[in-house]
């Protein structure tokens, strides 16, 4: 069966829904440090579990005969800047726990998310290549870059089947993001409907790589069912769908809500966003395992506003 760590998070919740849809509820075990929303808790097995506690994790893996683990528990970029050592501990020790379970042959396959946060201020910012300069300037980015190196090491040295994607900022109408720098791109839709206006914490021309959650989940499942011989990258794959600025997403909302007003009040997250690429080259994922995105900004805005209205 399958275990999701961090199943109550922005990605973890939707991954749990998708995996239960695909494999059946009873073989997909959701776990997190806290309980999740009603749909999640009522749709299948759940375990309260600290992903940094190896013994507790080993027990759950044995009890449910887990073969595949999705490690979605992490502290994201903005929060990690406030609690560097807690972020490092959570992001790294949870990864070592899962990698070591695979090395001991207690599980067969791992998905671990990286992020565009692995890139830094001197990385080429436009159509950032799969292999390039990576000097991340955030705690979160450092943990993701180091995590990528460890995933590649465990694959090369111990044959661990770990697969990874550098997610862009993700946008969902079913789940809220938690402590990220790209969270404005979700908040703006909620505020456009509830208040008709939004004060954005990034400057209007801050271009960032983004993706609608349906694309991110589909890519994850596609990568996890790809034949091992097709997976040439065991650090983490670049993945792309769209790039936009706060000004452009506001314009796409105005097409539906003409009176929508946006204002800008950059905070500490501006510096984090400025260190990241503005667009990503994902040609390697397209070539190796047939990736193609479905959602552009216009389609995303339509999906978000029509679903959030209900």
User: Residue 6, interface with ligand VAH (CB under 6 A)?
Assistant: no
User: Residue 301, interface with ligand VAH (CB under 6 A)?
Assistant: no
Distances (CA, A) of 140 to 35, 147, 179, 211: 24, 10, 11, 19
- Minimum CB separation of residue 117 from ligand VAH in Å reads 5
User: Residue 120, interface with ligand VAH (CB under 6 A)?
Assistant: no
Which one, 160 or 297, has the nearer CB to ligand VAH?
297
Tell me which residue of 308, 213, 184 sits closest to 257, measured CA to CA.
308
User: Residue 162, interface with ligand VAH (CB under 6 A)?
Assistant: no
Which one, 16 or 238, has the nearer CB to ligand VAH?
238
User: Residue 181, interface with ligand VAH (CB under 6 A)?
Assistant: yes
User: Residue 115, interface with ligand VAH (CB under 6 A)?
Assistant: yes
The burial class, CB within 10 Å (0-12 / 13-18 / 19+), for 222 is: middle
User: Residue 117, interface with ligand VAH (CB under 6 A)?
Assistant: yes
Active-site residue among 140, 154, 189, 237? 140
> Is 140 assigned a catalytic role?
yes
Residue in the structure block whose two tokens are 């292999």: 131
Q: Which 8-state DSSP code applies to residue 192?
A: H
| Per-residue mark of binding to ligand VAH, 59-98 (x: CB under 6 A) | -----------------xx---------------------
- Please measure the distance between the N-terminal and C-terminal CA atoms of the chain and give it in whole angstroms: 34
DSSP sequence for 85-138: HHHHHHHHHHHHHHHHHHHTTS-SEEEEEEEGGG--TTS--SSB-SS------S
Residues near ligand VAH (CB under 6 A) are 76-77, 115-117, 140, 168-169, 177, 180-182
Kindly list the catalytic residues: 140
């Amino acid at each position: 069966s399958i275990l999701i760590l961090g199943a109550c998070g922005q990605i973890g919740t939707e991954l749990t829904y998708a995996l239960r849809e695909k494999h059946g509820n009873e073989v997909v075990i959701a776990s997190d440090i806290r309980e999740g929303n009603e749909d999640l808790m009522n749709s299948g097995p759940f375990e309260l579990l600290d992903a940094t506690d190896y013994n507790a994790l080993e027990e759950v893996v044995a009890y449910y005969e887990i073969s595949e683990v999705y490690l979605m528990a992490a502290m994201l970029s903005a929060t990690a800047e406030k609690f560097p050592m807690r972020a490092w501990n959570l992001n790294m020790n949870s990864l070592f726990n899962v990698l070591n379970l695979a090395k001991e042959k207690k599980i067969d396959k791992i998905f671990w998310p990286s992020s565009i946060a692995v890139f830094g201020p001197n990385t080429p910012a436009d159509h950032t290549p799969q292999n390039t300069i990576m000097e991340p300037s955030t705690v979160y980015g450092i943990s993701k870059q180091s995590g990528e190196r460890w995933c590649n090491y465990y694959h090369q040295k111990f044959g661990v089947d770990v697969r990874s994607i550098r997610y862009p900022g993700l946008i969902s109408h079913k789940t809220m993001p938690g402590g990220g720098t790209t969270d404005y791109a979700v908040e703006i839709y909620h505020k456009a409907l509830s208040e008709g206006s939004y004060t954005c914490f990034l400057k209007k021309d801050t271009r960032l790589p983004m993706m609608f959650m349906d694309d991110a989940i589909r890519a994850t499942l596609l990568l996890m069912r790809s034949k091992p011989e097709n997976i040439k990258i065991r650090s983490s794959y670049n993945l792309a769908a769209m790039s936009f600025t706060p000004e452009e997403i506001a314009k796409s909302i105005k097409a539906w809500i003409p009176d929508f007003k946006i204002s800008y009040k950059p905070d500490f997250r501006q510096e984090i966003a400025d260190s990241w690429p503005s667009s990503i080259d994902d040609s390697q994922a397209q070539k190796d395992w047939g990736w193609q995105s479905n959602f552009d900004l216009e389609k995303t805005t339509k999906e978000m506003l029509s679903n959030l209205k209900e």
